[in-house]
């Protein structure tokens, strides 16, 4: 156990962590001292990258949001955005044809893969972030800040998962999660680090293919995350720990899962926020030095 008082702040960013399931399964470590639902009504579409970006900068980037609105206008699935009438024909096509159309026609039509285009926007725009408040911060990468959650290999495995075989996709996602976990516990051993922002896409990635099944299929992953939070607390008993998600996940049509319209937050300090972008202000109150 490391007994130094740093890092003083640890953010555990759990993409797709569903508030209702944390409550239903009574995941005490994740719930911490105080937990609450986050309101997402300020976000035009509930998609991963702009929400994480807003936590880091304290504001919603409307230019980036427009890229995602365009995607939703074609792909649908977002109640707040009206799908183009001609794009609805995709629903009647076989999944293989629909996928081909998306990758080869529609995605080019909206200017290319939104994940790739926005994966680094905060660094590219040189925006000020919560990392400025600390001397030695660390992150394993966050969507908008050095993490592309839709790499070529993952996209290919996702296609395969939609069309026939889900196991290779699941294995890939779980391996990434294991690597991220190893990085987290290795950095917690370093006393010079004063701010940790750890991110995992596990529950969003698996939620998209497994939330529509009996939801219990997701339970083992929630239990694992619960154990991770517990281990972080044991390793760093003096740190302030926040657990936050960008949105939850819920079953959608067929066997797939989709984003729910609220997110999750908890703290071991008793502090709360109401919206994801308020994380920025909360963190600023604890700046180093
Ligand atoms: Zn997400």
141-165 pLDDT per residue, tens: 999 999 998 898 998 998 888 888 9
The rounded Å distance from CA 33 to ligand 1 centre is 24
In-domain check, residue 80? no
In this predicted structure, what is the pLDDT of residue 6? Answer: 54
Instruction: Classify 267 as helix, strand or coil.
Output: strand
In-domain check, residue 4? no
The rounded Å distance from CA 205 to ligand 1 centre is 8
How many whole angstroms separate alpha carbon 172 and alpha carbon 156? 11
pLDDT reading at 21 higher than 90: yes
In-domain check, residue 74? no
HSE value, Cβ hemisphere, 13 Å, CA-based, for 31: 9
CA 98, 101, 103, 109 torsion: positive or negative? Answer: negative
The rounded Å distance from CA 271 to ligand 1 centre is 23
The rounded Å distance from CA 256 to ligand 1 centre is 15
Closest by Cα among 99, 15, 110 to 72: 110
In-domain check, residue 113? no
In-domain check, residue 225? yes
The rounded Å distance from CA 6 to ligand 1 centre is 29
How many whole angstroms separate alpha carbon 272 and alpha carbon 256? 32
HSE value, Cβ hemisphere, 13 Å, CA-based, for 208: 21
> Dmax of the chain from CA atoms?
60
In-domain check, residue 206? yes
Q: How far apart are the first and last CA of the chain?
A: 25
Query: The domain spanning residue 280 has which CATH number?
Result: 3.40.720.10
How many whole angstroms separate alpha carbon 57 and alpha carbon 280? 6
DSSP 276: G
Tokens read off for 189: 């051993």
How many whole angstroms separate alpha carbon 146 and alpha carbon 130? 15
**What does the CA dihedral 142, 145, 151, 157 come to, rounded to 10 degrees?**
20
The rounded Å distance from CA 289 to ligand 1 centre is 33
The rounded Å distance from CA 3 to ligand 1 centre is 33
Q: Which of the four pLDDT bands, split at 50, 70 and 90, describes residue 3?
A: very low
The rounded Å distance from CA 137 to ligand 1 centre is 23
Provide the domain limits for residue 165: 9-60+122-284
pTM: 0.91
- Provide φ and ψ at 139, rounded to 5°: -145, 150
In-domain check, residue 164? yes
The rounded Å distance from CA 31 to ligand 1 centre is 19
Q: What is the pLDDT of residues 24-80, one digit of tens each?
A: 999 999 999 999 999 999 999 999 999 999 999 999 999 999 999 888 887 776 667
The rounded Å distance from CA 80 to ligand 1 centre is 17
The rounded Å distance from CA 204 to ligand 1 centre is 5
Q: Is 195 exposed, middle or buried (0-12, 13-18, 19+ CB in 10 A)?
A: buried
Closest by Cα among 235, 233, 259 to 246: 259
Q: What does R_g of the chain's alpha carbons equal in angstroms?
A: 19
Q: What percent of the chain has pLDDT over 70?
A: 90
Domain total of the chain: 1
The rounded Å distance from CA 16 to ligand 1 centre is 5
The rounded Å distance from CA 210 to ligand 1 centre is 15
In this predicted structure, what is the pLDDT of residue 56? Answer: 98
Closest by Cα among 53, 62, 27 to 197: 53
The rounded Å distance from CA 2 to ligand 1 centre is 32
The mean-pLDDT minimum among 136-145, 200-209, 247-256 falls in: 247-256
Say which residue, 176 or 99, is predicted with more confidence: 176
């Amino acid at each position: 156990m490391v007994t130094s008082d740093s890092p003083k702040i640890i953010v555990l960013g759990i993409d797709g962590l569903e508030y209702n399931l944390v409550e239903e399964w009574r995941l005490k470590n994740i719930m911490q001292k105080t937990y609450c639902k986050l309101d997402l009504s300020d976000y035009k579409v509930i998609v991963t990258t702009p929400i994480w970006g807003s936590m880091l900068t304290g504001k919603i980037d409307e230019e980036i949001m427009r890229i995602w609105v365009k995607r939703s206008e074609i792909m649908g699935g977002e109640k707040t955005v009206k799908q183009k009438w001609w794009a609805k024909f995709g629903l009647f096509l076989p999944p293989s044809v629909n996928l081909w159309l998306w990758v080869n026609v529609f995605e080019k039509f909206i200017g290319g893969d939104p994940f790739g285009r926005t994966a680094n926007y905060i660094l590219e725009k040189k925006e000020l972030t919560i990392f400025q408040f600390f001397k030695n911060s660390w992150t394993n990468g966050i969507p908008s800040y050095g993490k592309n959650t839709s790499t070529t290999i993952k996209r290919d495995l996702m296609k395969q998962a939609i069309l026939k075989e889900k196991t290779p996709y699941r294995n890939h996602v779980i391996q990434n999660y294991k690597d991220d976990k190893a990085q987290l516990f290795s950095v917690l051993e370093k006393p010079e680090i004063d701010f940790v922002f750890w991110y995992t896409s596990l529950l969003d990635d698996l939620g998209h293919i497994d939330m529509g099944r009996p939801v219990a299929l997701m339970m083992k992953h929630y239990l694992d995350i619960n154990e991770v939070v517990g281990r972080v607390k044991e390793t760093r008993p003096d740190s302030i720990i926040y657990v936050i998600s960008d949105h939850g996940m819920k079953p959608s049509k067929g066997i797939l899962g989709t984003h729910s319209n609220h997110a999750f937050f908890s703290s071991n300090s008793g502090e709360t926020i109401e919206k994801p972008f308020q994380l920025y202000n909360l963190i600023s109150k604890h700046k180093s030095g």
